[in-house]
A and B are shown apart, each in its own frame.
Chain A
Amino acid sequence: MPELMQFLLSGLTVGAVYALVALGFTIIYNASDVVNFAQGEFVMLGGMITVFAYGAGAPLPLAAAVAILTTVFVGVALNKLAIEPARGAPVVSLIIITIGASILIRGVTQIVFDKQIHRFPAFTGDAPIPFFGATLLPQSLWVVGGALTVFVGLYLFFTKTLTGKAVLATANNRLAAQLVGINTGWVMTLSFGLSAAIGALAGVLVTPITLTSYDVGIGLALKGFAAAMLGGMGNPKGALVGGLLLGVIEAMTAGYLSSQYKDAAAFVVILAVLFAMPQGLFGAKSTERV
């Protein structure tokens, strides 16, 4: 079944992109209960800054490093200047703040850079690798590998390091975390920085495949958000599984049913899962505080 294999490979590549975006959502959500709709812009910045740094003559690894560091700076600034001052605002206000941030970042990018579509070369060439009758690009391996590495890294960080545990404690109960001496402000800064770094890394990894322009962020944010909710918001495992699942569902629908309705299939599955499990696949049950 070479077709099935091709669909699967396609789905996993695209799914890994969604997973990386979803992981970014998860980290910020854990630390602050904020769904950061500017997450897609981090991915865009990662790609666009690398394009222009590389175009200016920097070697690719250096260009990527510059892109990731710049994006981390943007992420931390977003937290310090917008999220922290708005602490305690209702959910819908926070949604609008991060959507506003996403429009702002897009607006500034189109002025600083341009409105054209760009790409830079794949890390290890474009020669397709045959795989059980199907083919995949070396860059796909980078993307899938990147998603897995980030996931494992986050898992170790949250379970094995003191800082990671502090983040989880803050996620569970902010007040209690403060009482036991955790600097929750710093946890927030760290989370935004980390999330921006993961977003930018995703941008660097996927641009050779998906191409980039100043307005790719919003689509990625939508799919990443959907993937994170599918898996259960706040759970890195959920983000990974949700992202990969979403990608595979899309590819299978495009392959076997209708390429026109592949996005529809993805959302139908999400709706079905949420109706059966209102907290997503791996979401924790929570009760409302009165």
Chain B
Amino acid sequence: MKLGSKHTTLLVLAVIIIVAPFFFPSSYYFRVGSLIFINGLAVTGIVILTGYAGQVSLGHAGFAGIGAYACALAPVYLGVHPGLALIIGALLSGAIAFLVGRPILRLKGYYLGVASLGFGILVAMLLTNEAQITGGPDGIRVADLGIRGLLREMGFRVKGSELWYVLTGICLLIGAWLALNLHDSPTGRALRALHGSEVAARTVGVDVARLKLQAFVISAVFASVSGSLLALQNRFITPEVAGFLHSVEMVTMAVLGGVGSVLGAIFGAAILTTLPQVLTVFAEYEYAVLGLVMMLVMIFLRDGLLPSLAKLIKGREQ
């Protein structure tokens, strides 16, 4: 193979994003597609934190919440454009991740899990309880990004779901490109060394604390941008975006698909975003089937769906 795996991944992603719409029978599929891309962006962050650096977070939805509410609140209180609010949210998330990351990342395994969980719950609780600012549990409207209006003025009429398919698709490609570059950089190699064994990495002179913090901050920014995109697309957001279930969902998507690779994790996001839509035919059996699928994949395809599939195909070829 001539192409590096980085370019292969990006190419595969780009081709899928461009070709898939030709098979869409209605614009509802664009909506599902854009949700996959938004979730894909968040799980790409999880790949950096969990796949590269080996740290588990059960509170990353907290950052998605910060990103989402930045887009809801900054245009109202600071008078900035919603697009700029996305960047403000990302910076804020990065800064908060930097502050809480330092003490939290000293913890290991399940202790890190519960600490990050606590962080996520605190964010969700602030968003729920400070109703005079955040609109409370019933949610808050988000300003229009204005791109559709701009296109209309230029004479192009596009449906909202189609526009967002394109926008989120581009964001996902950029995110994947950044994550893949990180993977091949010296930092990425050091992160993977750290994943293998923290003690071993430390003995060969890796600054473990700083590296973990870097991974944490980067993944927080990914989660934040994904939250912002969700808010901007829906033009409405509720505190659920920061909730525990959303945190778990992110980790599950990444691990189910294969947390070791960007493509695998995005595949996981695609599966878990589509599954509830497919499972509506099972009506009330939906949750039972969903739980069963999660268990079966993790028991029998331990590396995640995509790597296991790849192995299977390779095995056949040989």
Tally of contact residues, A, Cβ under 8 A: 44
Kindly name the residue among B199, B244, B295 whose own CB sees the greatest number of chain A CB atoms within 10 A. Answer: B295
Asked if A16 CB lies within 8 Å of chain B CBs, one says: no
Stretch at the interface among B33-41, B212-220, B249-257: B249-257
Asked if B307 CB lies within 8 Å of chain A CBs, one says: no
Kindly name the residue among B56, B114, B287 whose own CB sees the greatest number of chain A CB atoms within 10 A. Answer: B114
Asked if A86 CB lies within 8 Å of chain B CBs, one says: yes
Q: Per-residue CB proximity of A271-290 to B under 8 Å, as 1/0?
A: 10011001110000000101
How many pairs, one residue from A and one from B, have CB atoms within 8 Å of each other in the complex? Answer: 130
C-alpha spacing A111/B288, complex, angstroms? 9
Instruction: Give chain B nearest CB distance to A104 CB in angstroms.
Output: 3
Known A108-B288, A111-B284, A260-B129: A229·B110 in contact at CB below 8 Å:
yes
Asked if B313 CB lies within 8 Å of chain A CBs, one says: no
Instruction: Give chain A nearest CB distance to B272 CB in angstroms.
Output: 11
Asked if B298 CB lies within 8 Å of chain A CBs, one says: yes
C-alpha spacing A160/B226, complex, angstroms? 54
C-alpha spacing A235/B312, complex, angstroms? 42
Stretch at the interface among A45-53, A68-76, A130-138, A262-270: A262-270
Residues B284 and A110 in contact, CB atoms below 8 Å apart: yes
Stretch at the interface among B2-10, B101-109, B139-147: B101-109
Interface of B, helix, strand, loop or mixed by DSSP:
helix
The residues of A that contact B291 with a CB separation of less than 8 Å are 100-107
Residues A225 and B114 in contact, CB atoms below 8 Å apart: yes
Tally of contact residues, B, Cβ under 8 A: 48
Instruction: Select B118's contact among A91, A101, A260, A267, beta carbons within 8 Å.
Output: A267
C-alpha spacing A111/B284, complex, angstroms? 7
C-alpha spacing A91/B251, complex, angstroms? 12
C-alpha spacing A226/B103, complex, angstroms? 18
Known A99-B248, A101-B295: A35·B287 in contact at CB below 8 Å:
no
Asked if A95 CB lies within 8 Å of chain B CBs, one says: yes
User: Can you identify 18 A-B contacts, CB atoms within 8 angstroms?
Assistant: A35-B110, A85-B300, A92-B56, A93-B298, A96-B252, A96-B256, A97-B295, A97-B299, A100-B292, A100-B295, A103-B291, A104-B288, A105-B291, A108-B288, A260-B129, A263-B121, A275-B106, A279-B111
Further 13 A-B residue pairs, CB within 8 A, beyond A86-B299, A105-B291 = A89-B299, A91-B56, A94-B298, A96-B256, A100-B293, A107-B289, A110-B287, A226-B114, A264-B121, A274-B107, A275-B106, A278-B107, A290-B197
Q: Closest 9 A-B residue pairs measured CB to CB?
A: A104-B291, A100-B294, A107-B287, A107-B288, A103-B291, A267-B118, A100-B295, A229-B114, A97-B298
